[in-house]
């Protein structure tokens, strides 16, 4: 009988991905509605030492698979390992982060165990009557939200966007069940040869981790104005982000996009410059601690979710903000 919620804990170089802790936090809420437990699944080489942080983050236990073939992420051995875990443990629900790894691994495992998969979810709930997992995701370019259920097959599986769910407070010293599952790998399971692993360093932060975001919409007028927004962001020790319109126009990279078809962010401060406030964008930033908006249109929808709204020309207001911050920093 299928039981419990399993979270696939993604790790690289022995470091657990932030989204894994977010999913454990969400899984604890879902498990409470089902009166079930939460287990993390950890795969890699020499990773047993990373089990305890997952338990302290809320998991009731960890199932781990260790093997040298799992040192670097390769689709085939990881798919084989996770398939073995699911077949042996028979979970009710399996959750993955909608990362490059999760999006590669989840559909392959779903095909092997003959179950459904809902990708890129932004909300998860348990139906109070049927106890089925309700998986909500954007559809038709983010114009509607679709809620999907998997009635007949198990486990119910979903990938969830990083930054959407909130991790719960860790409990240092929390204890839980840790068990190793042995998988019989063969040389044939490694169907690629890794010649070299080259790590790319990013000068900019992941916008889902930024404490301050200065976000530009169509109202900034051109790609060039992002240089001004970047100057403002630097003074605030933050980063820049964007609405979808500017990404589609080629003004800024896709990884800067906030919204249903971009990323969900929860910064301490979200400064929206020239953003009208389409529902798809608001869905990606409405949980920010403080939202300040600058827009010429005093009826712009962005003001409905703002803590402070400034009606005016951003190309007049932003330079004044920059000057004021420079003077403040010089005086302090």
331 annotated among ligand-binding-site residues: no
Query: What tokens appear for 106 in the block?
Result: 């989840």
260 annotated among ligand-binding-site residues: yes
Distances from the Cα of 228 to the Cαs of 21, 140, 154, 186, in angstroms? Answer: 35, 34, 51, 55
50 annotated among ligand-binding-site residues: no
259 annotated among ligand-binding-site residues: yes
| Alpha carbons 85 and 62: distance in angstroms, whole number | 11
* 13 DSSP 8-state letter: T
State the DSSP H helix or E strand holding residue 179, giving kind and residue range, or none if neither. Answer: strand 177-180
186, 243 in Cβ contact below 8 A? no
281 annotated among ligand-binding-site residues: yes
CB neighbour list of residue 315: distance below 8 Å, 6 or more residues apart: 221, 225
102 annotated among ligand-binding-site residues: no
309 annotated among ligand-binding-site residues: no
Q: SS3 for 285?
A: coil
243 annotated among ligand-binding-site residues: yes
11 annotated among ligand-binding-site residues: no
| Alpha carbons 129 and 101: distance in angstroms, whole number | 34
207 annotated among ligand-binding-site residues: no
277 annotated among ligand-binding-site residues: yes
306 annotated among ligand-binding-site residues: no
274 annotated among ligand-binding-site residues: yes
Of the candidates 291, 276, 288, 259, which has an alpha carbon nearest to the alpha carbon of residue 122?
Answer: 259
305, 289 in Cβ contact below 8 A? no
207, 241 in Cβ contact below 8 A? yes
279 annotated among ligand-binding-site residues: yes
103 annotated among ligand-binding-site residues: no
| Alpha carbons 294 and 317: distance in angstroms, whole number | 8
110 annotated among ligand-binding-site residues: no
14, 47 in Cβ contact below 8 A? yes
280 annotated among ligand-binding-site residues: yes
Q: Could you count the other beta carbons within 10 Å of the beta carbon of residue 287?
A: 16
**Residue positions forming the annotated binding site for FAD:** 218, 243-244, 257-261, 274-281, 295
Binding residues: 218, 243-244, 257-261, 274-281, 295
């Amino acid at each position: 009988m299928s039981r419990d919620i399993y979270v696939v804990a993604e790790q690289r170089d022995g470091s657990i991905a932030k989204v894994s802790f977010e999913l454990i936090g969400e899984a604890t809420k879902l498990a409470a509605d089902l009166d079930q437990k939460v287990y993390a699944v950890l795969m890699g080489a020499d990773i047993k030492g990373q089990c305890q942080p997952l338990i302290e983050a809320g998991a009731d236990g960890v199932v781990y698979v260790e093997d040298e073939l799992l040192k670097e992420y390769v689709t085939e051995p990881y798919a084989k390992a996770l398939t073995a875990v699911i077949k042996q443990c028979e979970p009710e629900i399996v959750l993955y982060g909608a990362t490059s790894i999760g999006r590669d691994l989840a559909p392959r495992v779903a095909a092997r165990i003959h179950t459904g998969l809902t990708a890129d979810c932004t909300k998860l709930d348990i139906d109070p009557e049927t106890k089925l997992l309700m998986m909500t995701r954007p559809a038709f370019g983010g114009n509607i939200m679709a809620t999907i259920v998997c009635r007949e097959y198990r486990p119910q599986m979903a990938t969830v966007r990083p930054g959407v769910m909130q991790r719960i407070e860790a409990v240092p010293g929390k204890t839980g069940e840790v068990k190793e599952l042995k998988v019989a790998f063969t040389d044939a399971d490694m169907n690629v040869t890794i010649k070299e692993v080259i790590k790319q360093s990013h000068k900019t932060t992941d916008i889902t981790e930024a404490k301050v975001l200065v976000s530009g919409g169509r109202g900034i007028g051109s790609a060039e104005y992002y240089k001004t927004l970047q100057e403002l962001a630097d003074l605030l020790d933050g980063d820049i982000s964007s609405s979808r319109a500017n990404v589609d126009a080629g003004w800024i990279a896709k990884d800067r996009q906030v919204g249903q078809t971009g990323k969900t962010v929860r910064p301490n401060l979200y400064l929206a410059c020239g953003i009208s406030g389409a529902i798809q964008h608001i869905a990606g930033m409405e949980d920010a601690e403080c939202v300040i908006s600058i827009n010429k249109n005093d009826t712009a929808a962005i003001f409905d979710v703002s803590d402070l709204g400034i009606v005016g020309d951003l190309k007049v207001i932003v330079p004044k903000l920059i000057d004021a911050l420079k003077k403040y920093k010089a005086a302090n």
